[in-house]
């Protein structure tokens, strides 16, 4: 009876260990709690069936099929909980099957000098020790690097799946054919072969990681170049605006001489009422060219003014609820990229609407707790489609604005999201200031 209980605990340990390892790098589907509950329910059902067979028909009836039960349970866990793309999930599944099989082999080999209940107990202790070592490494070191690869790589995962699949075939062939490893003698060459296989496994995975990192660096370089081109375009707009303002100041300075001559002439003639009307018209002409003061930050204020005047020229109702101080710990170029792209996308979204439809842009920007929060809402067409969480561009060669926003948000450990609600496209950005 003790032997069967220990065998059951060994099966349970395998399921829990495999689940924790695979979950260490997995991105969970929403709603997360519901998915986990369903996954655990499937696990409990599988373990219950395995336990029933074990306690009613004995260890020999489940010894050879136990691993199939465990793999079925874990495959169900992936299907229910994993949000990653198919080939990413497949890569993870095959990889952790390889790790699970290797842990089983190592624990059995180290416990081979024991018999019966002592053997199963020693195997449980060895596995527990391995799990306690490997799980913190997976969560702390492997997960952040792996998630970075997942976010960057795309079709490369299709070929990457071949690596863990080949190693799984190799392990199965070496460990179970022509006879299972528990029938090997201590001096069989198969043990040398499997040890060599594990070393090769680690080496190939390391080379795969190096190659994937090189691809990520290439993509990062492309992102930086894209960001720089966007920033250059926005700075050109800012410089053009500043040049217009400078030219306006020179014109107004030149015109003041004429205004003064007219005012003096009217005063000498006593045309007070006509003078009042003239002064009023001069004030109105000056107000037309005045810049609005939306916030204390000069860069943000300048960008808001640029797009406010552009929207006004297109007949778009624009409202600002902004509060950005002078110093926010965000580089001026990055701030220009975030605000400029968000405002430009909103302006273009409104301009795609028919002329007879109401067009509106609402900008909300706050700087609280060293975090810059930006929300830009604009009326939009109803046919906007999304690929994942990103909107599909509706113009030739477009889409660079949203990518620049995402990339800049990553630089500041922030977030960026895009959504549609009640006929409005909503851009939400959070940046952490230094």
Report the largest interatomic distance among the alpha carbons of the chain, rounded to a whole angstrom: 122
State yes or no: pLDDT of 135 exceeds 60. Answer: yes
Query: Could you tell me the pLDDT band of residue 396, with boundaries at 50, 70 and 90?
Result: low
SS3 186: coil
What DSSP element (H or E) covers 386? strand 386-387
Most confident residue range from 150-159, 252-261, 283-292, 295-304: 295-304
Which two three-digit tokens encode residue 376?
């830009």
Mean pLDDT, all residues of the chain:
81
Quick check: 287 pLDDT over 60?
Answer: no
**Per-residue model confidence (pLDDT) at position 58:** 67
Q: Quick one: tokens of 85?
A: 């793309």
Q: What is the structure's pLDDT at 158?
A: 86
The side-by-side arrangement of strands in the sheet containing 317-323 is: 317-323, 360-368, 371-379, 424-432, 415-421
CA distance 235 to 372: 21
102-116 per-residue burial string, b: 16 or more CB within 10 A, e: under 16: bbbbbbbbbbeeeee
CA–CA distance, 355 with 365 (Å, rounded to integer): 28
Mean local confidence (pLDDT), 46-57: 78
**Is pLDDT at 243 greater than 80 in this prediction?**
no
Please tell me the predicted confidence (pLDDT) of residue 145.
82
pLDDT at 288: 54
- 321 CB-side CA count, 13 A: 7
Reading the block at residue 265, the tokens are 């002439």
Average pLDDT over residues 315-339: 89
Does 200 score more than 70 pLDDT?
yes
Per-residue exposure over 134-162, b if at least 16 CB sit within 10 Å of its own CB, e if not? beeebeeeeeeebeebbebbeeebeebbe
Question: Alpha-carbon distance 331 to 341, whole Å?
Answer: 15
Residue listed under structure tokens 């072969």: 193
pLDDT by residue (tens digit) across 291-309? 677 888 888 888 888 888 8
pLDDT value of residue 241:
62
User: What would the mean pLDDT of 138-144 be, rounded to a whole number?
Assistant: 87
Percent of the chain with pLDDT over 70: 81
The proportion of the chain whose per-residue pLDDT surpasses 90, expressed as a percent, equals 19
Evaluate whether 3 touches 59 at the Cβ level (below 8 Å). Answer: yes
Alpha-carbon span 156 to 163, nearest angstrom: 12
Q: Which residue has the higher pLDDT, 333 or 369?
A: 369
User: In 138-188, which ranges are continuous DSSP H helix?
Assistant: 143-152, 156-160, 162-176
Q: How far apart are CA 2 and CA 13, in angstroms?
A: 16
Which range (24-33, 153-162, 186-195, 373-382) has the least confidence?
Answer: 186-195
Q: How many helices (H) and strands (E) does the chain have?
A: 13, 7
Contact, 92 vs 84, CB < 8 A?
yes
Residue 234: per-residue pLDDT: 61
Q: How far is CA 362 from CA 254, 307, 376, 379, 385, in A?
A: 38, 12, 6, 9, 22
316 or 47: whose pLDDT is higher? 316
pLDDT at position 317 is: 93
**8 Å CB contact between 352 and 391:** no
Evaluate if residue 153 carries a pLDDT over 80: no
Which two tokens mark 3?
A: 């032997």
Distance CA(357)–CA(299), nearest Å, equals 32
Q: Which of 171, 136, 120 is nearest to 11 (CA)?
A: 120
- 195: pLDDT strictly greater than 70: yes
**Residues in CB range of 120: below 8 A, 6 or more apart:** 3, 6, 7, 10
pLDDT single digits (tens) 163-189: 889 888 888 888 777 777 766 766 667
Whole-prediction pTM value?
A: 0.58
Q: How far apart are CA 383 and CA 385, in angstroms?
A: 6
Q: What is the pLDDT of residues 343-395, one digit of tens each?
A: 989 999 999 999 889 999 999 999 998 899 999 999 998 888 887 677 876 65
Q: Given the structure tokens 């069967």, which residue do they identify?
A: 4
pLDDT of residue 426: 93
pLDDT tens, position by position, 93-133? 999 999 988 898 888 888 888 888 898 899 899 999 999 99
pLDDT class of 227 with cuts at 50, 70, 90? low
What pLDDT is attached to residue 30?
Answer: 83
Q: Which two tokens stand for residue 314?
A: 């297109």
Q: DSSP letter at 31?
A: S
Residues recorded for the chain: 434
């Amino acid at each position: 009876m003790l032997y069967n209980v220990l065998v059951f605990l060994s099966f349970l340990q395998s399921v829990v260990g495999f689940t924790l390892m695979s979950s260490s790098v997995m991105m969970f589907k929403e709603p997360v709690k519901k998915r986990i509950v369903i996954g655990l329910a499937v696990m409990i059902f599988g373990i219950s069936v395995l336990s029933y067979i074990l306690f009613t028909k004995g260890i020999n009836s489940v010894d050879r099929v136990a691993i199939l039960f465990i793999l079925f349970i874990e495959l169900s866990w992936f299907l229910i909980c994993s949000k990653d793309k198919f080939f990413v999930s497949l890569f993870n599944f095959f990889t952790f099957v390889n790790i699970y099989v290797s842990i089983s082999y190592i624990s059995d080999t180290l416990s081979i000098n024991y018999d019966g209940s002592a053997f199963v107990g020693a195997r449980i202790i060895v596995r527990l020790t391995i799990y306690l070592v490997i799980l913190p490494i997976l969560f702390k070191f492997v997960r952040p690097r792996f998630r970075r690869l997942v976010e960057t790589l795309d079709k490369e995962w299709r070929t990457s799946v071949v690596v863990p699949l080949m190693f799984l075939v190799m392990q199965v062939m070496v460990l179970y054919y022509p006879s299972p490893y528990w029938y090997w003698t201590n001096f069989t060459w198969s043990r040398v072969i499997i040890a060599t296989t594990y070393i090769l496994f680690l080496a190939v995975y390391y080379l795969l990681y190096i190659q994937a990192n090189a691809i990520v660096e290439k993509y990062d370089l492309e992102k930086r170049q894209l960001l720089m081109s966007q920033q250059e375009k926005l700075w050109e707009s800012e410089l053009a605006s500043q040049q217009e303002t400078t030219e306006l100041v020179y014109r107004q300075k030149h015109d003041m001489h004429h205004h003064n001559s007219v005012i003096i002439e009217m005063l000498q003639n006593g045309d007070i009422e006509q003078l009042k009307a003239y002064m009023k018209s001069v004030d109105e002409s000056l107000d037309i060219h005045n810049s609005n003061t939306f916030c204390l930050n000069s860069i943000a204020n300048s960008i808001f003014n640029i797009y406010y005047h552009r929207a006004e020229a297109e007949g778009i109702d624009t409202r600002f609820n902004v509060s950005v101080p002078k110093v926010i710990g965000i580089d001026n170029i990055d701030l220009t990229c975030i605000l400029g792209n968000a405002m430009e996308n909103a302006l273009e979204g409104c301009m795609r609407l028919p002329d007879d439809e109401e067009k509106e842009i609402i900008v909300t920007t706050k700087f609280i707790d060293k975090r810059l929060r930006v929300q830009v809402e604009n009326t939009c067409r109803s046919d906007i489609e999304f690929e994942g969480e990103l909107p599909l561009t509706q113009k030739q060669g477009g889409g660079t604005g949203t990518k620049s926003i995402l990339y800049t948000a990553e630089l500041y450990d922030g977030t960026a999201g895009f959504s549609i609600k009640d006929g409005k496209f909503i851009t939400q950005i959070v940046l952490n200031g230094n």
